[in-house]
Amino acid sequence: MKDPVSTSIDKYQEEEINPLCVYCKSSKVIKHGQTSTGNKRFRCRNCGKTWVLERKETVRPDLADMTEAYLNGRTCRDLVPIYHSSPLRINQKIREFLDGCPHWEEYLDASVNDHHPRLIYLIGRNFSCSTKNSKGNTMFLAMAIDSLSTVVLGFEISQKDSREVWLSLLDRMNCRNIICPTFMTNGSKNIEEAVNTVFPYSTTRIFYHKAYRDKELNCCISRLPINNKLLNDALKAYDTLKNHNLSEYLKENNNKKLRDYLLTNPELFTKRLKERLESRPKIRIEGLSTAFQMRFEKFHMLKDDPYPLINGWIAKWMTNRLDFGFSRLSVYSQIPSITNFKMYSCGNLPYKLNLKEDSPQLKAFVIEIAARALQVPVFYSKCEMKLDKCSLF
């Protein structure tokens, strides 16, 4: 019986024997390195020709994944080991991909039937950019953000903050039939004048009201964590919203109401409300503006027209799944659906999910919208955070 070790050596030697020349059938063949994809190359000493014996399948990089990684903050140099290309080539491919993506505002209008925002935040941010028309390597981004879902309803890029840039943004929103009774700003005179011009019947408030509303909710939870007042207030707050797609969805799919989910899961509702109050800088509007500042803080990232990159970045944030399992776009439409950046880049609309009554996903979705509705700073209690006026006692 042959020794197993000898058998292994013989097999290894057989594998190491070079093949015959595919052109002249000569045995005078030597190894000649390998290709960039890792395929072994051979050369014939007799005829001098080279060839590759077996070709490995080349896996093309997914441009949507590569672009999403870049939008998340990875540089083109970071992506070189993953996609095996030069930083310049990767940057070119990402740029071409973003140029072909739909405008976020058009995609949003196609994804929802009607716009019914209860309150809109108007936020402006300076960002670094070294375009030809930019003075001082800075530009300005104006955003209109829905208070319930933190979805960017529209945005405008300009050289600097001015009344004209806000007029352009608000006028385009008006043409898209996005009419809102209340706007919240940082007190900017440019924004206030633009709102009074385009939406003369709307009210303008400052961000103080948002902070005050959070204090009210923290006060209620600290005195009595699980109570009917918070549940009833959440239902009242939801009723003040014009968009009631969630109620219609529950009625069609499960013949249940929003009240049924809240009353049977008061602990989960209170827990989620606490999480949102404690993690305000991460999961609310503050988190969106902070993430934008972090992504666009270095001017060398933007040496061309900044629109494609900002448009793609906003779309990524609006379609990516949050910690409770759904995206901001799903919350805005109030319909449980599947959304992601790849679907957006291809122009595919959100895919509606038909969830069962006892589905944990549906329960999390309902509780999330109820908690968000309660936090919208247009619904106030009359306690003034004083113990003698507290309705809990």
Q: Model confidence over 235-260: pLDDT tens digits? A: 888 988 888 899 899 888 877 888 88
Cα 259 to the center of its chain, rounded Å: 29
8 A C-beta contact, residue 237 and residue 376? yes
Q: What is the mean pLDDT of the chain?
A: 83
Angle at 217 between CA 212 and CA 219, to 5 degrees: 95
CB atoms within 10 A of CB 165: 21
Token pair 């290709």 is found at 35
pTM: 0.81
- Predicted local distance difference test score (pLDDT) of residue 251: 87
pLDDT in tens, the chain (393 residues): 445 444 443 443 444 567 888 888 888 888 888 876 677 888 898 888 888 877 665 556 688 888 898 888 888 888 888 777 888 888 888 888 999 999 999 999 999 989 999 999 999 988 877 666 656 678 889 999 999 999 999 999 988 899 999 999 999 999 999 999 999 998 889 999 999 999 999 999 888 778 788 888 888 888 777 778 888 888 888 988 888 899 899 888 877 888 888 888 889 998 998 888 887 655 567 777 778 877 776 544 556 678 898 999 999 999 999 989 999 999 999 999 999 999 999 999 999 999 988 889 999 999 999 999 988 887 666 665 555 555 544
Q: What is the pLDDT of residue 8?
A: 44
CA distances from 292 to 103, 127, 313, 319 (A): 18, 9, 9, 16
- Rounded to 5 degrees, φ, ψ at 257 are -115, 165
Q: What is the 3-state secondary structure (H, E, C) of 59-123?
A: CCCCHHHHHHHHHCCCCCCCCHHHHCCCHHHHHHHHHHHHHCCCCHHHHHHHHCCCCCCCCEEEE
> From edge to edge, which strands make up the β-sheet containing 50-52?
29-34, 40-44, 50-52
**220/103 Cα distance (integer angstroms):** 42
**What count of other Cβ atoms lies within 10 Å of the Cβ of residue 132?**
7
pLDDT at residue 176, rounded to an integer: 94
- DSSP-derived secondary structure letter, 358: T
DSSP string computed for 25-61: --S-EEEEEE-TTS-EEEEETTT--EEESSPPPP---
| pLDDT of res. 154 | 95
Judge whether 258 and 235 are in contact, CB under 8 Å: yes
d(CA 51, CA 352): 52
d(CA 86, CA 343): 27
User: Which sign does the torsion angle of CA 40, 41, 44, 49 carry?
Assistant: positive
Distance (Å, rounded) from C-alpha 154 to C-alpha 168?
10
Q: What is the pLDDT of residue 175?
A: 94
Cα 129 from Cα 303, distance rounded (Å): 6
Question: Cα(345)–Cα(104) distance, rounded to whole angstroms?
Answer: 10
Residue 59, number of CB atoms within 10 A of its CB:
8
User: Residues, the chain, total?
Assistant: 393
3-class DSSP assignment, residue 157: strand
Q: Check if the beta carbon of residue 188 is closer than 8 Å to that of residue 213.
A: no
